[in-house]
Amino acid sequence: MTTDDTTGRMGGRKVIVTGAARGIGAACARLLVAEGARVVIADLLADEGKRLADELGDTALFSELDVTSETGWQQVVREAEERFGPVTGLVNNAGVVHVDPIEQLSEADYRRVIDVNQVGVFLGMKSVIASMKSAGTGSIVNISSIGGIIAFSGILGYTASKWAVRGMTKTAAQELGPHGIRVNSVHPGVIATEMTQESDRSHGMAGKQPLAREGTTDEIARLTLFLLSDESSFSTGSEFVADGGYTTH
């Protein structure tokens, strides 16, 4: 698949998407390419990531990335600039969850979740700033969760990290706005992904909300596209919730 720089809602912009080998990240990569973006698919899942990049053609590049590694981030940004030019979009989507009550939660498991979900977002934002400044524009979308707005038992590390992403987004928006860089967070509810399909708890949650179904990865991708595009040009430092109304309770 190839896309002309002058077409689509993304008009040839250069976007890094983490956790892009599958799930929400893969849906974002596909939609962004379809809308004219050049996309770096960043993930530790090399086989799946390379397959997706091959599927999308010369408008996509796979780059293996551990989001907890600052040098890894620097390498991804270099690859993006060498292949496509200055980075103008970032989707911090990579994330993990660990389920355990607090008294049984090990320090190692807690730190692993924080490192991926929180430190990974910090490193991603930090690593693209210089590239976005050189381009004179940028939009960063941090994928949080409704677990960053309300609390859920049994996932202390996940909840802590997603609340942190919400606050980090607001601070980054304040610092980067003067440079023409917008930063927003997306807060999905129960979305049909590999992470939720094996969870009876997730299915039960979806049945209790006003829109009594799971969301789709494409629905989150479309919201992310809006935030990366000029259609959201006056939005920064804000939370965008897509949860079927779960948090209305």
Positions marked active-site: 158
Nearest 10 degrees: Cα torsion 157, 26, 75, 45: 70
Please enumerate in sequence order all residues whose Cβ is within 8 A of that of 11, keeping only pairs 6 or more positions apart, or say none. Answer: 5, 36
184, 169 contact by CB (below 8 A): yes
126: helix, strand or coil: helix
Q: Which H or E element spans position 91?
A: strand 89-92
For the packed helices 156-176 and 107-114, what is the interaxial angle rounded to 10 degrees? 30
106, 99 contact by CB (below 8 A): no
Report which of 139, 52, 122 is spatially closest to residue 88, judged by C-alpha positions: 139
| Token pair in block for residue 12 | 């040839």
Distance (Å) of CA 44 to CA 69, 113, 152: 12, 15, 28
Query: Half-sphere exposure (CA, 13 Å, Cβ side) for 40?
Result: 30
| Token pair in block for residue 72 | 């890894």
Please enumerate in sequence order all residues whose Cβ is within 8 A of that of 82, keeping only pairs 6 or more positions apart, or say none. Answer: none
249: helix, strand or coil: coil
